[in-house]
């Protein structure tokens, strides 16, 4: 069994849904290292009793902290139950988080169905090395 590092995030209107999903998948999640934004992490830890590395609340920089961990290749995949029907004061941070996950080619689940597919994938229990794009040419242009 290979342990993964999973980031868990949920907007306020989706926290209950993420808590239900995490409770259902508690045994699988317990085998991995979990990160979450502040409020979500506190709720998850209380609900499922698994240690969570809690960062700042999303609007206070937690989304950006997770994005930084993704860019440093410390996160294997992102479970982000976001609410597409509500405007959020930190919407630019949310878009930046989703963008950085795509830039670094990590799996992202934005709802329960996609989270179910990721958590039940045979790749979860095996060694998997995602193909990281080669950004050397892009970095050289900036100099």
> Which of 45, 61, 57 lies closest to 12 in space, CA to CA?
57
**Which is catalytic among the residues 12, 63, 76, 93?**
63
> Is residue 53 within 8 Å of residue 65, measured between CB atoms?
no
Pairwise CA distance, residues 126 & 3, whole Å: 8
The answer on pLDDT for 135 being more than 90 is: no
Provide the residue ranges of all domains of the chain, joining segments of one domain with +: 5-141
Residue 91: per-residue pLDDT: 76
Residue 19: per-residue pLDDT: 97
Q: Is 63 a catalytic residue?
A: yes
The answer on pLDDT for 5 being more than 90 is: yes
How does the average pLDDT of the chain come out, rounded? Answer: 91
The answer on pLDDT for 131 being more than 90 is: no
Average the pLDDT over each of 7-21, 69-83, 87-101 and give the range with the smallest value: 87-101
Q: Hey, is 88 helix, strand or coil?
A: coil
- Domain 5-141 fold is Rossmann fold (3.40.50)
Pairwise CA distance, residues 11 & 130, whole Å: 27
Pairwise CA distance, residues 42 & 55, whole Å: 10
Query: How distant, in Å, are the alpha carbons of 104, 120, 131 from that of 134?
Result: 10, 29, 9
The answer on pLDDT for 26 being more than 90 is: yes
Q: What is the pLDDT of residues 38-72, one digit of tens each?
A: 999 999 999 999 999 999 998 889 999 999 999 99
């Amino acid at each position: 069994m290979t342990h993964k590092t999973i980031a868990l995030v949920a907007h306020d209107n989706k926290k209950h849904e993420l808590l239900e999903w995490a409770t259902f998948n508690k045994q699988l999640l317990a085998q991995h290292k979990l990160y979450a934004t502040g409020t979500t992490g506190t709720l998850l830890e209380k609900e499922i009793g698994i240690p969570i590395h809690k960062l700042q609340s999303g609007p206070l920089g937690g989304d950006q902290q997770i994005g930084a961990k993704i860019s440093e290749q410390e996160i294997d995949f992102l479970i982000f139950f976001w609410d597409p029907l509500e405007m959020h004061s930190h919407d630019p941070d949310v878009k930046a988080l989703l963008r950085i996950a795509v830039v670094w080619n990590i799996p992202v689940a934005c709802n329960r169905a996609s989270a179910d597919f990721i958590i039940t994938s045979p790749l979860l229990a095996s060694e998997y090395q995602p193909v990281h794009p080669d950004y050397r040419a892009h970095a050289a242009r900036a100099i």
